[in-house]
Structures are given as structure tokens and as C-alpha cells.
A and B are shown apart, each in its own frame.
Chain A
Amino acid sequence: MPPSSEVLVHARSLTKRFAAFTAVNAIDFDVHVGEAFGFLGPNGAGKTSTMRMIACSSPVTDGELSVIGLDPRTHAAEIKSRLGVVPQADNLDAELTVLENLLMYARYFDIPGPVARARAAELLEFMQLSERAGDQVEPLSGGMKRRLTIARALINEPELIILDEPTTGLDPQARHLLWERLYRLKQRGATLIITTHYMDEAEQLCDRLVVMDKAEIVAAGSPRQLIEQYSTREVLELRVPEASRPGIDGRLEGLADRVEELPDRYLLYAADGEQALEAIHQREIPIESALVRRATLEDVFLRLTGRSLVE
């Protein structure tokens, strides 16, 4: 189902403060029905605080927010009854079995027993957990717990599903299975809001996204738009012998839109990477190795949020 122009989440000057600390500083965004909308950003950028405000788990400090056309300040319970929330860290009920986790969660939504049982069976099937229905939660693998957490978030047939770093800590197989399931949910008309700091995940899943840094939105658009706007089409990665590093900056001049020097290599942002490499050969600049690749969201992300470590 293609995204529509109907707005499901609307935020203007949305702000979250904890005492003197501003976690989210007056951000604006709209999420449309049927789209997968991403929040990217380093740790501490304000992604989770924003998610929690949308999920009505955290009161809005200031600004405007409407979720499914309702105000979280006055209609939190009704909004929650129509949302599915997948938190950053699994909070499954470790004292219940896999199936009981779903059935009990359905009770919290006041879903009648027979309906809950039918949905639970369907969701376990969808998330490839049917065979573990009677098992305790603890021995499940990380990927299984994540899938159960997502199944649990779907028990009330939510109009909007909020996923906070859905694949953090999973192995590649588990991630790909999860992406495939999320993609299928989207195909079936679900609206998804996803936070992640995996750029490949954002490129795979998100129709549109915003990049957050230091409590603010620093860029917004589709993955393709962001790459066009903040990067070149291609990137040439050069490794240069240590001896020829001094003075190389001048020799690289004019070969690319932008050159970034890293401790182990140079990144040349150019529309045509092969052409830039050709020019380097012509200038007889000594190199150890060269790689031409397409620019990714990761290049955009690092340009916008910097390379310094956030801890």
C-alpha cells in the first residue's frame, strides 16, 4: 500500500526537557498513513525520547503533538489502545510462556479471549514462533525474543507501530528475517516509526527519515534525497602510503566535491568515482589501494552528525 497524504503523527516545536537537560528541542515532523518513517541519530540524540512521547509513555514538555488525530495529554489511553510499541530492550514477561505473553497482553487491551487466541496463533505463525508457543521466554534466542516482542505489539491490530532500534544486538540472519517481516507488515498497510543507528536498516525500511543530532532534526527526506543533498553519488576510498601523506591535500585538490581525511584513508566524494581515480593515476599520486562505491546513508549520517564518538 503506498503512503498516503493523511497525517498520522503531527509534531510542531515538540520539546522534551528533563530538569535542565533538553532531550528534544522544538522538532517538527509529520508521519503519513502507510509509510515507514525513520529517526536516525547517534546515542543521546533524542530519538527514544521522541518515541516515548509519541507512545504516550512520556509527557510532552512543550509544543504540539497529535497521534492518530488525538492529543496525548488528554487521550493517552485511547491512543495507546491503537498503538503497537516495541521498546529498545525486550520487556517480555519472563514468568509466562511465549503464548501466555501474547494472551496476557491482549487482556491488558481488553481483547476478548477467543479473539486473542486466534490473533495469538496467527502472530506466532507470522513470526515463526508457533513451535515455541508453550516454552518459557528466557531460553529463547535474541532474535526470537525480538520477534515475540513485535508479535506482542501487534496483538491489538495497531494502526501505528513504533519500533525503537528493532534489530540492535541481533545476528545478520535474525536481522534479515526481521526486516522481511517488517516489510511485509508495511505492504499490508501498517504505518511504522523506526529508530535506528544502522544506516543499512534505514535504507532498507524507511520511506522517509529524519536525522537527529543533539536534540534537533538536522536533515529530513527520503534516503535517496538525503544522499543527493548531503553527499555525492559516489565515494572513492583511497589508502595512501604513510610516506606520501604529507602534502597530499594539495595534490588531491579539484578531484572531488569534498575530501575527508581519516586516520587510515581518504574519502573523495565525487559524482564519478572512476573518473576521480583515473585523475589520480594521471597525477601519479602513489596509492596502496582504491575502492569506488556508491554513497550511502552512512556517509550522510557521518557528515551531519560528525565522526566523534558518542558515549
Chain B
Amino acid sequence: MAVAAGTPPRPPATRAVSALAGAAHVLQRNLLVYRRTWRGSLFGSFLTPLLYLTAMGVGLGGLVAQGGSSLLGGVDYLHFLGPGILASTCMQTASFESTYPIMGKISWRRNYEAMLATPLQVHHLLIGELGWIGFRLTTIGLVFLVVLSLFGIPRSPLALLAIPAAALTGLAFSAPIIAFAATRTNDSGFAALFRFVINPLFLFSGTFFPVSQLPDAVEWVAAATPLYHGVALVRGAILDAMPASWPLHVAYLVVCLGATAIVAERLLRRRLVK
């Protein structure tokens, strides 16, 4: 090293880190941490679908199968539920990863302060974090597909498309929640977010029953949330019954992600660069 070895300072050769490379460094940092925790994390991803499918799909599903099949789109309850659980688990994991860990890096441990003292910029941090959450959701999708296969739920290789669909669903929640986290000075808002937004969506966005069962007004609210569109895509892929409206669902999620990512970048910048 020039400073410690007594050689003169090197010429100014360093180039600006390109956006993707910068984001890749942020992603790499999270993967380095994940290396120590991945076993527990993957085990959790395995357990969640197993418990839900056994308890509600097989147990509860046995009770509702007779009456509901046509409303469920011609499948039994287990097949209806499985894909929905995948989409909602991705929503929940993405939401969690966008709250406490992001706040920690903003204000508790101030990782972002340290990172922004390097050539990294705010949009590198955001893209890197979204990339990391995308990676986590992909591993969840893979494990889920394995578990769903144990129950014989996927009907064709098209089911593999459920992985990017589920990841996109989660990311459409991540970006706005990171934007929200960037405005918080403490974590009290997060409990409210989960209680009043994420959990109701989990219950009412088509995971456990078709939203057509809801009163019309509520049905429209449900259809406006990203989870509804995510569930439609994931279910279509896994049951090999992609609705004709799939491009609209994809577009809705992409616009959600893109628009809120721009807001998140602005709010993070306002918070971190003063």
C-alpha cells in the first residue's frame, strides 16, 4: 500500500464504479452474511409450505373440497392453496427484509453511511438490496416448488415460471416498503405495517379463497393490491392454467416495482445525503 509502504501516492486511476457493479458489491455483502445463516433460512422456507399444505390443504381442504371445486377453478383446495401460499410467503419475506434490516443499515448500524463514504451511491444500495431480496425470493420459490411437488401439485414445467412471478410479487412490496423505512426514525411503524397491511392482504388477496367471494367493493380493493396479481400469475403457472390477462398482471407488478423504486431512491437519498 502506498501510504504505509512509503511509496508516492498512485496516479488517479480509479474509475467511477458503474451502477450494476456497485449494486453487485452490495448484493455480495449480503451473500457473505447469508453464508453463515443459509441453513436455517432454507429450512424455514421448507417448513412453511409443509405446515400450511398439511394443515389447511389436506386437513381443512378435505372439508371444503366437495362444494367449492367450480369456484376454485375446477381444482381441489390443496391445489388452489399451494400456489397462493408461495406468493404470499414471498410478500411476507420481502416485506420483512425491507423493514428492520434496512432500518438497521440506515440508523442502527449505519452500514449505509460507511458504504456511501466509498464510490458507492444511493441507487447502488437500493438496486443491490432489491437484488438481494430477489435472490432470497428465488431460493424460497425453488424450495416451495420442491415441496409442492411432494404433494403432486405442479402440473407441467410451466410451474418453473412461478419462481420469477413470485419473486416479482415480493419485490413489488419491497420497493415501497424500503421507501417507507427510509422515512422512519424508529421501528414502531413496522409492527403497524404488518398488522394493518401485510396480514390483511395475506388473508384477503386470493390466497385462501377466490376474491370473487368478497363483497364487490372489497373485491376491487383486493384486486388493486400487488398480491392479487402475484397470486394470479403464480397459480396460473403452477396449475398450468395461465389466465389470458397475464400480461396485465405482469405489467401491474413491474410498474409497482419501478415507480416505488424511484420514490425509494429519492427518500433514501434525502435520508442519507444531508
Residues of A within 8 A of B (CB): 18, 55, 57-59, 68, 77-78, 80-83, 85, 87, 89, 91-96, 100, 104-105, 107-110, 119, 122-123, 126, 152, 154, 156-159, 161, 185, 188-190
Contacts and interface: CB of A to CB of B under 8 A. Distances in A.
A11 B5 CA distance: 30
Nearest to A85: B117
B181 to A, nearest CB: 18
Contacts of B22: 108
A93 B28 CA distance: 13
B111 A189 contact: no
B1 A119 contact: yes
19 contacts: A18-B274, A55-B117, A57-B273, A58-B274, A77-B121, A82-B14, A87-B114, A89-B110, A91-B109, A91-B113, A96-B32, A104-B28, A109-B118, A122-B4, A156-B14, A157-B3, A161-B3, A185-B4, A189-B9
Nearest to B34: A95
B67 to A, nearest CB: 50
Nearest to A58: B274
Given A85-B117, A91-B109, A110-B17, A123 B1 contact: yes
8 closest residue pairs by CB, A with B: A108-B118, A81-B14, A91-B110, A85-B117, A91-B114, A77-B119, A157-B2, A77-B16
Interface of B: 1-6, 8-10, 12, 14-17, 21-22, 25, 28-29, 32-33, 109-111, 113-121, 273-274
Contacts of A91: 109-111, 113-114
A92 B108 CA distance: 11
Given A91-B110, A96-B33, A159-B9, A110 B273 contact: no
Contact of A108 (B10, B15, B120, B274): B120
Nearest to B108: A94
B36 to A, nearest CB: 8
A80 B117 CA distance: 6
Nearest to B16: A77
B79 to A, nearest CB: 40
Contacts of B115: 108
A105 B118 contact: yes
Given A107-B29, A122-B1, 16 more contacts: A57-B113, A77-B119, A81-B16, A85-B117, A87-B114, A93-B29, A105-B114, A108-B22, A108-B25, A109-B14, A119-B1, A122-B5, A156-B14, A157-B3, A185-B3, A190-B3
Contacts of B2: 157
- Tell me whether chain A's interface is mostly helix, strand or loop, or mixed: loop
Nearest to B115: A108
Contacts of A109: 14, 118-119
Contacts, number: 106
Query: Which of the listed residues B16, B114, B121 has the most CB atoms from chain A within 10 Å of its own CB?
Result: B114
Contacts of A58: 273-274
A189 B117 CA distance: 22
Nearest to A191: B9
Contacts of A190: 3
A109 B14 CA distance: 9
A91 to B, nearest CB: 4
A58 B117 CA distance: 10
A126 B208 CA distance: 60
Contacts of B21: 110
Contacts of A159: 9
Nearest to B4: A126
A80 B118 contact: yes
A239 B4 CA distance: 49
A184 to B, nearest CB: 8
Given A93-B114, A110-B17, A122-B1, A157 B10 contact: yes
Contacts of A119: 1
A177 to B, nearest CB: 16
Contacts of A85: 117
B109 A94 contact: yes
B141 to A, nearest CB: 25
B274 A154 contact: no
A55 B117 CA distance: 7
B1 A157 contact: yes
Contacts of B10: 157
A92 B117 CA distance: 12
B111 A93 contact: yes
Contacts of A108: 17, 22, 25, 115, 118-120
Contacts of A95: 33
B189 to A, nearest CB: 23
Contacts of A107: 25, 28-29
A198 to B, nearest CB: 23
Contact of A87 (B12, B16, B28, B113): B113
A81 B119 contact: yes
A88 to B, nearest CB: 10
Given A94-B109, A126-B4, A188-B5, A57 B116 contact: yes
Given A91-B110, A94-B109, A126-B4, A157 B33 contact: no
Query: Which of the listed residues B3, B115, B274 has the most CB atoms from chain A within 10 Å of its own CB?
Result: B3
A154 B9 contact: no
A33 to B, nearest CB: 9
